[in-house]
Amino acid sequence: MRLTRLPLLLTSLIVLLLAGCGKDDGVAGTTAEGLTKIKVGYIGLTCEAPLFVAKEQGFFKEFGIEPEMVKCEWSQFKDVLGLGGFHLAHQPVMMFLKPIEQGMDVKMTAGVHLGCLRVQAPINGNIHKIEDLRGKRIGVPGMGTPPFIFANRVLGDNKIDAKTEVEWKVFPSAELGLALDKGEVDAIANAEPIGSLLLAEKKVKTIADQAVDPPYAGEFCCAVLMNGKYVAANAGASAAATKAVLKAAKWVEANPRAAARMAILKGYIASNPELNTQVLGQLRYVPSISGGEAAVRSAAESMKRASMFSETTDIGKLTAGVFVKLEGLTDEWVGGLKVEQVAFGQMPPDQTLRVAMELYGCGGHLLLKSCCDDPALAAAK
C-alpha cells in the first residue's frame, strides 16, 4: 500500500519545493503588524467563495490573520495540504476521509455549506430511481473525487455493489454532459456548477441530490480543513482563521450575487457571472460546528457501508480524530455572527432568465456590455 502511494508523494514533494515552500515545521510566522501568517489553498471552484471573500473583504485580517492564497490542482491538493504546502482549505468532507483513515494528517474544524453533489441521468431516459442504476455505466470526473464517492454512498445505501454491479467511466467534468449525449454512459455523478448547468440546459433529471435527498439532506458537503501539524502548533491562529472563513460563509449566504462576481473579477475562478450567481444562490452557506462534526460521522458511516473503508475501521474513533474542537468556536458564536447585505448583492427574481440569456441569448459584445454595466459588478470592485 505504501509503495503504491510513493509516486504521488514524491510528486507532491516536488511541487512543494518548486513552490518555494521548503520544510514546514508547523510554527506560524507573523508579520510586522503582528498578524499570524497562514497559507490558504484553493482550486478555483465556485463553492470556495468563502475563502475568496475572507481575503477580499478583510475578514482574515479582522481576526488577526495574514493569508497567502495558494492555487493548487485537484490531483495534488490532498497531499499538498497533508504535507503542509498550505495550511487551510475549504473542501468536501468525503474527499479527505479515506486518506485520513490511511494516515494523512489533516483535520476539520467546521462545516461551511450543505450538499452540492448529484447523480443525474438523461431527462428522457429509462433511469428514474437509484435502483435503476444497477448494471449501468456511470460517468465521473475521476476515481476518488467527491462525485465518485457520493455515487458510491448512494449505491451502497441502496444495496448496490459499486465494485461489481456498475461500470465506472472517467471523463473531464466539462465533458460529462457530452458523454451522456453520445451514449457513452447511462448516468453521471457531478458537482456544481456542472449539475446546475445540465439542468438549465434541460439535458438531465436528478436521481440523487445530496442537498435534498435523505439521508444526505442537511449534511455538510464542505468543511474547513487544516494541516494537522499547523493546528497542533497554532491552535489560536487556527481558530481565528476558521472564524474568518465562517464569517465569510455567512456573507456569501447574504450576498451570493456579489460573492459570485467578486470571485470572477479578482481572478479566483473562470465562470459565467450569471451561472456562478445561480450556483452560489442555490447552495446553503449556514456554517456550523456541530454540523461539521456530524457530517464527518455520517459520511464515514455511509462510506463504510459502501465498503470504502477497512472493515476494522472504528467510525467513532475516526470522527474524534478528524474533527478538532478549537477554543471559542461554538455554534453559539456562529449564531451570533452578523454580516451586512450589500447593494445589488442578492439574487434577482429573474435570475433563471439571466442565466438562459447569458448562455444562449446574447452575443459576446452584448454579454460584455451587460456585465460591465451591471451595478453588482461595480459594487464587487
- Please check the confidence at residue 365 and state whether its pLDDT lies above 50: no
C-alpha cell recorded at residue 3? 509503495
Beta bridge partners of 38: 67
Average pLDDT over residues 307-313: 91
Give, as one character, the DSSP assignment of residue 30.
B
What does the alpha-carbon distance between residue 278 and residue 116 come to, in Å, rounded to a whole number?
Answer: 13
Query: Could you give the angle at the alpha carbon of 120 between the alpha carbons of 280 and 299, nearest 5°?
Result: 70
Overall CATH class of domain 2-114+220-335: alpha beta
Closest alpha carbon to 84 in 149, 39, 140, 29: 39
pLDDT over threshold 70, residue 124: yes
Residues 6+ apart with CB under 8 A from 227: 26, 81, 82, 83, 84, 86, 87, 88, 105, 106, 107
pLDDT of residue 371: 34
Residue type, 262: M
| Residue 361, pLDDT score | 61
Q: Are strands 220-227 and 106-114 parallel, antiparallel or unpaired?
A: antiparallel
CATH of 117-209, one of 3.40.50.1170, 3.40.190.10, 3.30.70.60, 3.40.50.2020: 3.40.190.10
pLDDT at 350 over 80: no
Cα(307)–Cα(80) distance, integer angstroms: 26
Q: Distance between terminal CA atoms of the chain?
A: 49
The mean pLDDT value for 287-297 works out to 95
* Band of residue 253 on the pLDDT scale cut at 50, 70, 90: very high
Q: Which set of grid coordinates corresponds to residue 265? A: 473579477
How far, in Å, CA of 179 to CA of 181, rounded? 5
**Per-residue pLDDT tens over the stretch 129-164:** 999 999 999 999 888 888 999 999 999 999 999 999
Query: Which pLDDT score is estimated for 359?
Result: 64
pLDDT at 21 over 50: no
Does residue 378 register a pLDDT over 60? no
Closest CA to 117 of 154, 163, 77: 154
The residues near 17 (Cβ < 8 Å, ≥ 6 apart) are: none
Amino acid at 353: L
Which of 248, 332, 320 has its CA nearest to residue 285? 248
DSSP letter for each residue of 285-338: ---BHHHHHHHHHHHHHHHHHTT-S-TT--HHHHHHHHB---TT--HHHHHT--
Residue with cell 490532498: 78
pLDDT at res. 18: 42
Inter-CA distances, 317 with 44, 84, 95, 100, 104, Å: 33, 24, 18, 12, 15
Residues of the chain with CATH 3.40.190.10: 2-114+220-335, 117-209
Q: Mean pLDDT across the stretch 349-358?
A: 73
- On average, the pLDDT of the chain sits at 86
**pLDDT over 70 at 22, yes or no:** no
- Per-residue model confidence as pLDDT tens digits over 69-111: 999 987 789 999 999 999 999 998 988 999 999 999 999 999 9
pLDDT tens digits, one per residue of 29-76: 999 999 999 999 998 888 899 999 999 999 999 999 999 999 998 778
